[in-house]
Amino acid sequence: MHTFPDIARLDELLFELDSALGACEAHGALCGMLCAQGSTEASQWLVQVLGEHEDTSSTLQQVGKMLMQVYDITVAQMNNNDIDFEMMLPDEDDPLEDRVEGLGTWCQGFVFGLAVGGIKEDTELPENSKELITDIIEISRAGYIADDEAELEATEEEEIAFMEVSEYVRMGILLIYEELQPLQSSQTVH
């Protein structure tokens, strides 16, 4: 199974390039665009993430390679029922605060991607998808606030809650994709 590039490294490079989106948000945007359009040209997504660049720097080439890796993995995961779809989020070893922030920005990216893909507030959507998108918008506003310095270690309840929310989003994305792209999931690639 292919793995996503290192998020921290990708974030660093995206920041260097003055990119519009960070790594988690960029992956969310791709998933949103795929849900809205069924298929998305890599170039269409890359422009959303990187903007327009006159010159090709080695950093840009490196980022381009990493983003193409993300693109290929994501398209394969979204179009294959056998492969588990994964959201590109910070590792479970990372502090909960970082993971909550990562999930929040991922969800922001997803909502952005839906809009780029042509889904507007007044777009007629299946009821389930509409509810899920509303929930994802709420989650995109999430932040993690530790009560005080002593509570930097996340409690087990918080860990469980985070896992449940991210799993809800993950399954929600698949459902939205299935509802909005019924042809995609029934087509087989030869």
- CA atoms 175, 132, 89, 34: torsion sign: positive
Global pTM value? 0.89
> For residue 21, what pLDDT is reported?
95
Q: Where are the domains of the chain?
A: 7-186
> For residue 54, what pLDDT is reported?
75
Nearby residues of 26 by Cβ (< 8 Å), 6 or more positions away: 14, 19, 45, 49, 67, 70, 109
> For residue 153, what pLDDT is reported?
65
Distance separating alpha carbons of residues 40 and 17, to the nearest angstrom: 23
Residue 20 has which token pair? 């519009």
> For residue 187, what pLDDT is reported?
42
> For residue 173, what pLDDT is reported?
95
**pLDDT tens per residue across all 190 residues of the chain:** 578 999 999 999 999 999 999 999 999 999 999 999 988 899 999 999 998 877 788 999 999 999 999 999 999 999 887 778 999 999 989 999 899 999 999 999 999 999 999 998 888 999 999 999 999 999 998 766 655 544 556 788 888 999 999 999 999 999 999 999 865 444 444 3
Query: What's the CATH class of domain 7-186?
Result: mainly alpha
**CA nearest 176: which of 28, 4, 12, 23?**
28
Q: Which helix (H) or strand (E) holds 51?
A: none
